[in-house]
C-alpha cells in the first residue's frame, strides 16, 4: 500500500499568514494527489486535484505543487474560514490512502 505521510499534524497561525502543508508519498505516484478541507459536521470539500489544479469555486489563496514524491498545499493568506483540518489523498493505486491530516488552528 502507498503511505501518505502528512506534516505537520497541527499548526497555529494568524489570519493573513502563509502556511504550507506537506504530504510525502512512499513511492512515485505522478500527480495522483488531491487535497480536501474538512470542518466538523460537514462533508470534505475538494480544494486541489491532480496535485496542482484548483477546484472551481475555491479561492486562489489555495495552491498545490509537487516536487518528486513531496506534495504541498499552500494557503497564501489565511482567512478565518480556512481554519479546518486538511487531508491529502493519493488515487494512484488502491487502497486510495489519505494522509493523517493537518489541523490548522487560530493563534
Residues engaged in binding another protein (CB under 8 A)? 1, 30-32, 34, 36, 38, 42-44, 46, 49-50, 55, 87, 89, 91, 94-101
Q: How far is the CB of 15 from another protein (least distance, A)?
A: 25
Q: How far is the CB of 60 from another protein (least distance, A)?
A: 19
Residues 16/63, Cβ–Cβ less than 8 Å: no
Q: How far is the CB of 50 from another protein (least distance, A)?
A: 4
- Say how far apart CA 96 and CA 77 lie, in whole Å: 30
- Say how far apart CA 13 and CA 23 lie, in whole Å: 19
Residue 19 or 36: the one with the smaller Cβ distance to another protein is 36
Residues 37/25, Cβ–Cβ less than 8 Å: no
Amino acid at each position: 500500500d502507498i503511505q501518505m505521510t502528512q506534516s505537520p499534524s497541527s499548526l497555529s497561525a494568524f489570519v493573513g499568514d502563509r502556511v504550507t502543508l506537506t504530504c510525502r508519498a512512499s513511492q512515485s505516484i505522478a500527480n495522483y494527489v488531491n487535497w480536501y478541507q474538512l470542518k466538523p459536521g460537514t462533508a470534505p470539500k475538494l480544494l486541489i486535484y491532480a496535485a496542482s489544479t484548483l477546484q472551481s469555486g475555491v479561492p486562489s489563496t489555495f495552491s498545490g505543487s509537487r516536487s518528486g514524491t513531496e506534495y504541498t498545499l499552500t494557503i497564501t493568506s489565511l482567512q478565518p474560514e480556512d481554519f479546518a483540518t486538511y487531508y491529502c489523498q493519493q488515487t494512484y493505486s488502491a487502497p486510495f490512502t489519505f494522509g493523517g491530516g493537518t489541523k490548522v488552528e487560530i493563534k
